A and B are shown apart, each in its own frame.
Chain A
Amino acid sequence: MLITLERNSGVPVFRQICDQVRFQVAAGVLSGGMEIPSTRDLGERLGVNPMTVSKAYALLEQEGVLERRPGLSLVVRSGVRGGVRSAVGGTERGSRSRPDAETTRELRHEELERLLRPAAIAARQLGVPAKDALEVFRKVLRAPEADNHERGVDR
């Protein structure tokens, strides 16, 4: 698990841990069934209170990113899950029967969405219309073709 903290960023440490774990699960760096470090170990590694780590883990468990195996430590939840935002937003999406690939795709999109939100705000503040902003994003992606656009930034 690759985690690095920005200590004076004003962003709560537990949230930094959550975001980075979720990202790595979405990216497939952490795969289903993989055991994650104990709260003590990660606390030691990062130089934070183990309780902060356990707060992050509890939230990820609630989101369905991690699961606790009976008698075992926490592992990355494999296969189906209810959708990361559903645990927070309160609307269960009932994706229990969805295949793995589908949930992975969903999780990836949610992560990308979270990371693009600041860019969207910047676009609004700059007065860049949505169409132009997508153009810029496509350029950033180095994928100028229209069909790539549809696949990459579908809504």
Chain B
Amino acid sequence: MTHTESRTQRDRMVFAADQLSKRFDECVALDQVTCSVPRGRVVGLIGRNGSGKTTLLRCLQGLAAPTAGRATTFGVDGMALVDADLARIGVVHQANRFVPWMSGRSHLDFVRSFYERWDRERERRLVDAFELDLRQRIGSMSPGSVQKLAILTATCHHPEAILLDEPAAALDPPSREALYATLFDLLREDEPAIIISSHQLDDIERSVDWILCLERGRVVRDEALDALQERYARWRVLPLPDGSPDGALKGNLREPWIKSAIVEDRGALLVVEDAETKREAFESRHGVTVDSQPLRLAEMFKVWMDERPSDDRPRRDAVAAPKGSQR
């Protein structure tokens, strides 16, 4: 029933980038990015400042032309999207430039006139959920209120493709909850593809099913959050009561799947990838017991940032553990 239905829809790609590169003069904003997002998926786009998140979102909606490669939405090149395509896309920009003398009400009335499928019921619901005062002029609204207005502007026309560039940056916690609840409503009603960029990794972890992580314009991770959560772990390693003389672990942790290590004389804290497949062998080789705990997205993110090639950033070895040795 709905099961098979959504399965066929899952194959329908909404956003795609293929070897997408974007250069601004000397600066490489995107470097051969390849990724795709089908309907019904919520992608958390994460990365440090200047990693290329906004540029990727802009290429997908045709606000920036690729230097090389392609960026498509509904299979159409971003730069070739026509009005009918754009009417199926909803966007929250990082900085919203709305007309300052308009009230929230007249802004929404104005925007609505462009869309055939504008949903006044959804509009009312969101105004309530966000406790937004539409009588206020945009110029005198708080950044949070403008952001709420932007979210309404981006979602009330039943878009099938939604791009949100740090939509929650100015929102207080209840409004952030309302935003994410809204996204799930949209998913149930229209099954759109959603890309949401954010630095609030805890929020992202609560709300998305997929992680796309960029660093220096390159894709660092493009994977289901579930799969990441099951692969990564934090291990508390303690020696068996009858085994492991002091320091047995030291200098013995060079395996590439050990991502970071704090080793003390009688134990260690490790961050590991492929946790479950490695555990038993590790325990018997080192004569230790492992207590494995899940790793949060924010901690994974740290691992990925440390994985950068050392030639362009030698910081990695400079960070020393307070006690004992680091890797």
A15 to B230: give the CA distance in the assembly, Å.
10
| A12 to B225 CA separation, bound complex (whole angstroms) | 8
Interface residue? A11 (CB, 8 A) = yes
* Beta-carbon contact of B294 and A7 below 8 Å: no
- In the complex, which residue of chain A has the Cβ closest to the Cβ of B236? A125
Residue B291 at the chain A interface, CB threshold 8 Å: yes
Chain B 277-319 near chain A by CB (<8 Å), digits 1 or 0: 0000000000001110111110000000000000000000000
| Alpha-carbon distance A105/B3, docked complex (angstroms) | 32
Is the C-beta of B246 less than 8 angstroms from some C-beta in chain A? no
Whether the Cβ atoms of A47 and B209 lie closer than 8 Å is no
Instruction: Please give, as numbers and ranges, the residues of chain B lying within 8 Å of A9 by CB-CB distance.
Output: 294
B238 to A: closest C-beta gap in Å: 5
Complex interface bits, B220-260 against A, C-beta within 8 A gives 1, otherwise 0: 00000110011000001010110000000000000000000
B181 / chain A contacts, CB cutoff of 8 Å: 47
Q: B184 on the interface (CB 8 Å rule)?
A: yes
B187 contacts chain A at the CB level, 8 A cutoff: yes
- How many residue pairs, one in A and one in B, have C-beta atoms under 8 Å apart? 67
* A43 and B206 contact, Cβ closer than 8 Å, known pairs A12-B225, A14-B226, A121-B289: no
Is B188 a contact of A12 with CB atoms below 8 Å? no
Contact B209 A51 (CB under 8 A): yes
Which residues from chain B contact A86 at a C-beta distance below 8 Å?
Answer: none
B29-88, CB < 8 A from A: 40-42
A10: chain B residues within 8 A (beta carbon):
229, 293-297
- On whether the beta carbons of A39 and B2 are closer than 8 Å, the reply is yes
Interface centre among B6, B40, B205, B209 (most CB of A within 10 A): B209
Q: B202 contacts the other chain (Cβ, under 8 Å)?
A: yes
User: Which B residue sits closest to A120, measured CB to CB?
Assistant: B289
State whether A51 and B6 are in contact (beta carbons under 8 Å apart), knowing that A8-B296, A10-B296, A122-B291 are contacts in the complex: yes
For residue A44, CB closer than 8 A to chain B, the reply is yes
Q: Assess whether A82 is interfacial by the CB under 8 Å rule.
A: no
Bound Cα distance A7, B296 (Å): 10
Within 8 A of B (CB), among A60-106: none
Q: Which residues of B contact A38 (CB under 8 A)?
A: 2
B118 in the interface, Cβ–Cβ < 8 Å? Answer: no
A49-B294 contact in complex given A8-B206, A10-B229, C-beta closer than 8 Å: no
Q: Say whether A7 contacts B206, CB under 8 Å.
A: yes
Q: Which residues of A contact B289 (CB under 8 A)?
A: 121, 124-125
Contact among A14, A54, A122 for B6, CB-based, below 8 A: A54
Given contacts A51-B40, A121-B289, contact A44 B188 (CB under 8 A): yes
Interface residue? A52 (CB, 8 A): yes
Q: Which residues of A contact B188 (CB under 8 A)?
A: 40, 43-44, 50
Let me know if B296 and A40 touch, CB within 8 A. Answer: no
**Bound: A123/B296 CA distance, A:** 25
Q: In the assembled complex, which residues on chain B have CB atoms less than 8 Å from the CB atom of A8?
A: 202, 205-206, 296
Q: Is the CB of B205 within 8 A of A7?
A: yes
How far is it, in angstroms, between the C-alpha of A58 and the C-alpha of B297 when the chains are bound? 25
A residues 113-146 touching B (CB-CB < 8 Å): 118, 121-122, 124-125, 127
A6-28 interface code vs B (CB 8 A; 1 in, 0 out): 01111111110000000000000
A36 proximal to B (CB < 8 A)? no
Beyond A43-B184, A50-B6, A125-B236, 15 extra complex contacts between A and B, CB < 8 Å: A10-B293, A11-B294, A12-B226, A12-B229, A14-B226, A15-B226, A40-B188, A44-B184, A48-B184, A49-B40, A51-B6, A51-B209, A121-B289, A124-B289, A127-B240
Binding site for A on B (CB under 8 A): 2-3, 6, 10, 40-42, 180-181, 184-185, 187-188, 202, 205-206, 209, 225-226, 229-230, 236, 238, 240-241, 289-291, 293-297
What are 11 A-B pairs at a CB distance below 8 A? A8-B296, A15-B230, A38-B2, A39-B2, A40-B2, A43-B184, A47-B184, A49-B40, A51-B40, A52-B209, A121-B289
